[in-house]
Structure 1
Amino acid sequence: MKQALVGARIFTGDQFLDNRAVVIEGANIISLPENDNVVQSYPDAEIIELDGGIIAPGFIDLQVNGGGGAFFTNDTSVSALQSMLDGHRPTGTTSMLPTLISDTRTTHQAGVKAVADAVDARMQGILGIHIEGPFFDMDKRGAHNAKYIREIEDEDMQWLTAIEGFKIMVTLAPEHAASGQIKRLVDSGIFVAAGHTNAHYEDVMLAIDEGLSGFTHLFNAMRPQTGREPGVVGAALDSANTWCGIICDNHHVHPGSVRVAMNAKPLGKLYLVTDAMSTVGGEQKSFTIYGEEIFEKDGALVNAEGNLAGSAIGMIDAVRIAHQAIGISLSECLRMASLYPAQYMRLNQSLGRIDDNYRADLVHFTNDFNVTATWVAGDYKQH
């Protein structure tokens, strides 16, 4: 069955196209013909009329703690993963790395098994898993429970490096990794990112030499930059070949800091994440972590101590805020939400663009940033 999407402006990942259609066959994009040629060239296609707005590559969120009422660390099940996909899809997210926060090894292994089961069942949209903690610095743990924070043990290395079949990101504090541990993780195919870290600049640079490739929620829960000590932030901005996730929700990072990062990092190395919790796409505006209530306050999620505990936004909100409040061009915001995370995960031959033979993961949104429809591997859903 073919679908022909007409009536919207197309952002391909590189440029905007007018008066063109997107033709989908099965799970893939097969053509971007002129609107006037669609019916003649594809008489068997279902014509889907879109009333203006923009079609863009589906958003890819590499840090999603929960959604649709489910919080993954509390519910390490395939059904929770489906709830997260369902909760975030109306915000334009078509692929994600469900994220586990600091907890027991048993909980993390259960989460990995759930992802493996979802991938085996061909659950579209689950790219793999992001394990955020517990190998953190105690002073930079943020909302992560202190009782779980610990050093990397041999058993951790053994089970983490044995995971295969999907993408794995591990966020850790590099100053608490022994020499060679990061290299071993990277050599097994894991994407290692620095986060919740009080490392000095030199510590981070040594970790980059071992293969550390990313920074989790840039500026948050990491040693800041000063004139004499560049810290983790300085290392992130100074390293040309690393990627940085950033939360644009008007709470986690000041707009000026986002612009500084944009100017410092090479094009393509800064990408949007939500760090979203179960409230996104869910009915409840509070939930429990570690037996403690987390609640929404002024558009942010905080714990009883007032610490930020993830965000309450979806990806379309991050795109809107990055564009309207921070002043980044819309085309760059859309790349930050799709192409760049695809490139980081080495999935940019199939995701992150609208082009022939790419997977039909798409989002359609209005000029005022309301998502009206998404496609995941060609599956069409109105919102």
Structure 2
Amino acid sequence: MIIKNGLVYGEDGSFSKADIEINAESFRQIAPKLPENGAEQVIDAEGLYVIPGLVDIHFHGCAGYDFCDGTIEAFDAIMQYEMEHGVTSVSPATMTLSEGQLAKIFENAGKYENNRGSKIRGITMEGPFVSSAKKGAQNGSYIHRPDMRFFEKMQKLSGGLIRQVAVAPEEDTDFAFIKEVTKQTHASVAHTTADYDTAAAAFAAGADHVTHLFNAMPPFTHRAPGVIGAAFDAKEVSVELICDGIHVHPSMVRAAFAMFGADRICMISDSMMATGMENGDYALGGQPVKVVGRLATLKDGTIAGSASNLLDCLRAAVKEMNIPLADAVRACTATPAKALGFYGECGSITAGKSADAVLLDKELNLVKVICRGKAVN
């Protein structure tokens, strides 16, 4: 396959007109002009942006299914939906559930033959090691103190797929869990009441990520900068940001990009099962959720994930929040892939990497998706 004449997003964050050759499931070469001789398929991308396949490292479901359903049917439907909407690499997230429920989910995910749709490159373990005071849509009945035995059991069942684990550092005595778990995976500060000093100590102990910045944590103020200020000062820390127009005000999205830069922001969808579905009643982590438009809430009004996919979020960031396209693309591709350690496999249009690409028109409408070297639509 050859993709010709597109405005290709490069590793340096710039767009330049180029052709892309794909061999089997990998990018073979990118050059200003490539011959078409022998190509099985030629796609003319004249006037289109060609960006890497998007990478969502924190979402719960879509298309009427939740990752925590833990079934092949659910996994297949979720991966198909994500791929069709330009999200070609994912790290779906679990919720705070019982140990038995989580064990089954991780076991089934570890056995899942992910040959179709988006590629599962990891799992995000969101809960149960969170704070009751900042549980958000997590089920308080199953919140658990940080526990290496618990984590290692889930990691073994998953076949080593857990790429990050959420933890409220104030619940981690002497940061013993963070120090130990980061020998195996990434620790993300999440659902927490931590102040600046506690968060800074957690980062010093090895945590290198923040789950959905601004949400389920103390606010960022001039005398109490909290987790947000501590993350800003810890330059190796990446942060997640939900740009669905509900979770974070556009002004704060712009402020976050100014503070952290696109090299440290991982745009996520945090989507739940209602994404791609009609308004109505759904569930998240076993709790009832009502969805109206982009807004998903529990009975008490707590925001419960989003009803937007990552491409929707990218589009909103650019068109509604005035984030430069190049920055939004980086935050949806290279940065999350680097944050969870699989940038060598995906996240940029680079020879040797998985041939995942998204073609967008100048209004950022989806034109075509290429996933592992095959045209999806």
Q: Would you say same fold, with TM above 0.5?
A: yes
What's the TM-score, normalizing by structure 1? 0.91
Please state how far the C-alpha of 1:309 moved relative to its aligned partner: 0.4
8 Å CA contact 1:316, 1:369 repeated in 2? no
- State yes or no: 1:182 paired with 2:181: no
Contact preservation (8 Å) 2:22, 2:373: yes
Q: Equivalent residue for 1:103?
A: 97
Distance 1:278 1:120, change over 3 A: closer
Question: 1:68 and 1:262, CA in 2 relative to 1: closer, same or farther beyond 3 A?
Answer: same
Deviation, structure 1 residue 45: 3.3
Equivalent position SS for 1:8: strand
| Cα distance in 2, alignment partners of residues 55 and 101 from structure 1 | 34
Secondary structure of the 2:317 match is helix
How far apart in 1 are the matches of 2:162 and 2:21? 29
What residue number does 2:211 align with? Answer: 216
Which residue matches 2:107?
Answer: 113
Distance in structure 2 (CA, Å) of the matches to 1:95 and 1:285: 28
Unaligned runs of 5+ in 2: none
AA in 2 matched with 1:149: I
Separation in 2, partners of 1:55, 1:76: 34
C-alpha deviation, 1:284, in angstroms: 6.6
Provide Cα deviations, 1:112-140, integer angstroms capped at 9, x if missing partner.
22221125768751011111111111111
State the partner residue of 1:90: 84
1:353, distance to aligned residue in structure 2 (A):
1.1
| Contact residue 288 and residue 298 of structure 2 kept, 8 A | yes
* Matching residue of 2:291: 296
Q: Which amino acid aligns with 1:250?
A: G
Match of 1:16 in 2: 15
Is 2:224 aligned against 1:226?
Answer: no
Q: Is 1:69–1:283's contact at 8 Å kept on the other side of the alignment?
A: no
Aligned 8 A contact 1:238 1:264 in 2: no
Pair 314,124 (structure 1): closer, same or farther in 2 beyond 3 Å:
closer
| Pairwise CA distance, 1:8 | 2.7
Query: C-alpha deviations, 1:27-84, integer Å up to 9, x for none?
Result: 101122334x422xx32432123353211000000011001211122x1123312211
1:328 counterpart = 2:323: yes
- 1:307 maps onto 2:302 in alignment: yes
Task: Kindly state the Cα deviation for residue 300 of structure 1 after the two structures are TM-superposed.
Answer: 1.2
1:124 and 1:376 in contact (8 A); partners too: yes
DSSP-derived class of the 2:311 partner: helix
Question: What is the alpha-carbon distance in structure 1 between the residues aligned to residue 375 and residue 256 of structure 2?
Answer: 36
Q: CA deviation at 1:86?
A: 1.3
Tell me the amino acid that sits aligned with residue 308 of structure 1: I
What pairs with 1:1-383 in structure 2 (closer than 5 Å)?
3-14=1-12, 15-18=14-17, 20-35=18-33, 37-39=34-36, 42-50=37-45, 52-73=47-68, 75-118=69-112, 125-153=119-147, 155-160=149-154, 162=156, 164-179=159-174, 180-187=176-183, 189-282=184-277, 285-289=280-284, 291-382=286-377
Q: Distance in 1 between matches of 2:367 and 2:250?
A: 28
Aligned partner letter, 1:17: S
SS in 1 for 2:55: strand
Conserved? CA contact 1:271–1:337, under 8 Å: yes
Query: Are the equivalent residues in 1 in contact too, given 2:147–2:177 (CA < 8 A)?
Result: no
Structure 1 unpaired stretches of 5+:
none
What is the distance in 2 between the residues matched to 1:6 and 1:225? 46
Contact 1:69–1:284 under 8 Å retained in 2 = no
1:54–1:367 contact (8 Å) kept in structure 2: yes
In 1, the alpha carbon distance for the partners of 2:80 and 2:5 equals 26
CA distance 1:298–1:122, shift in 2 (3 Å): closer
Partners of 2:262 and 2:328 within 8 A in 1: no
In 1, the alpha carbon distance for the partners of 2:10 and 2:72 equals: 32
Q: Contact (CA 8 Å) 1:13, 1:57: kept in 2 or not? A: no
- Give the TM-score normalised by the residue count of structure 2: 0.93
Task: Indicate how the Cα distance of structure 1 residues 214 and 88 shifts in structure 2: closer, same or farther if over 3 A, else same.
Answer: same
Deviation, structure 1 residue 347: 1.7
Taking the aligned partners of 1:119 and 1:184, their CA distance within structure 2 comes to 30
Counterpart of 2:274 in 1: which secondary structure? coil
> What RMSD, in angstroms, separates the aligned Cα atoms of the two structures?
2.0
Supply the distance in 2 between the matched residues of 1:379 and 1:195 (Cα, whole angstroms): 37
Amino acid at match of 2:356: D
CA distance, structure 1, for counterparts of residue 346 and residue 321 of structure 2: 26
Partner Cα separation in structure 1 for residue 162 and residue 143 of structure 2: 24
Q: Is this contact kept in 2: 1:65–1:277, CA < 8 A? A: yes
